Chains A and B, each alone.
Chain A
Amino acid sequence: MDVKQVQLDAEGFLVDYKEWNEELAKELAKEEGIEELTDRHWHVIRFMREEYEKTGQVPTIRRLKNAGGIPTKELYALFPNGPAKKAARIAGLPKPQGCV
């Protein structure tokens, strides 16, 4: 599966999160300016997907910190300039809708 084969919405987010795989994540990360996904990137991505499957909601930055063990500072370093949106997009999830 690559970016050309999956359906993206107008803002580039996956329409169906089940179409996601790790290869696709790497491609989406490159589009977001992240050349290589480290173990910590994968930790964020996997936690977000697990939460989404459980709750149907993209987790907030606070939830990533308190339940996912990802300090806010680190999250901003891993996904610079808009971490919640970027990480959600790479994880194949919809654009976060909350204000926090």
Chain B
Amino acid sequence: MSDNGKLEKVSIIISKGSLEGVYPGLIMANGARMEGIEVNLFFTFFGLDAIIKKRMNKLKVATVGNPALHMPTLIGMLPGVSSFVTAMMKKEMDKIDIPPVDEFLEMISDAGAKIYACRATVDMFHLTKDDFCEQVDDIINVGKFYELAAGGEIIFT
């Protein structure tokens, strides 16, 4: 935080790979840049799905183990239910101009945010830089993440 009380930097960690696990972090990152706040966006564990080219636009809402959906677990597990709920949610998001994941990442990157993938997860899942969308600036370890985050706030999602 600066002397005038204004937040100057946020480092946002996205660790989950469901649609509802990824979007809050993306919206906060984009919103921070809109306010002129410096942003690091760090993807780790299943959150990496949001920057993997083949998967980024196929994220789904978790319809099992998600009590806030107000849907019985036995229905949530039926084939097609997760896809249906995901399609409904995407439609509503589009109405308020929330973009698909690939377009959103492009906007966030164009807005000047830095985008990183977690080294440990990349190794664990045997991924390479080619698996990621072009907006990914680097694959970094946790030490480097803390270096970059120094002097700002860290948000874990």
A residues neighboring B (CB under 8 Å) = 60-63, 65, 71-73, 76, 80-85, 98-100
Which of B34, B103, B110 contacts A84, CB < 8 Å?
B34
- Report yes or no: A72 in contact with B36, Cβ–Cβ below 8 A: no
Which of B31, B34, B99, B110 contacts A73, CB < 8 Å?
B110
- Given A65-B107, A76-B110, A76-B112: A100 and B36 within 8 A (CB)? no
Which of B27, B33, B106, B107 contacts A99, CB < 8 Å?
B27
- Report yes or no: B31 in contact with A61, Cβ–Cβ below 8 A: no
Q: How far is the CB of A69 from chain B (nearest CB, A)?
A: 14
B residues neighboring A (CB under 8 Å) = 27, 30-31, 33-36, 96-99, 103, 106-107, 110-112
Contact residues in B for A83 (Cβ distance below 8 Å): 34
- Report yes or no: B97 in contact with A76, Cβ–Cβ below 8 A: no
Task: Find the B residue at minimum CB distance from A62.
Answer: B97
Q: Give the dominant DSSP class at A's interface.
A: helix
Q: How far is the CB of A74 from chain B (nearest CB, A)?
A: 9
Could you jot down 28 A-B contacts, CB within 8 Å? A60-B97, A61-B107, A62-B103, A63-B97, A65-B107, A71-B110, A72-B106, A72-B107, A72-B110, A72-B111, A73-B111, A76-B33, A76-B110, A76-B111, A76-B112, A81-B36, A82-B35, A82-B36, A83-B34, A85-B34, A85-B35, A98-B96, A98-B97, A99-B27, A100-B27, A100-B30, A100-B97, A100-B98
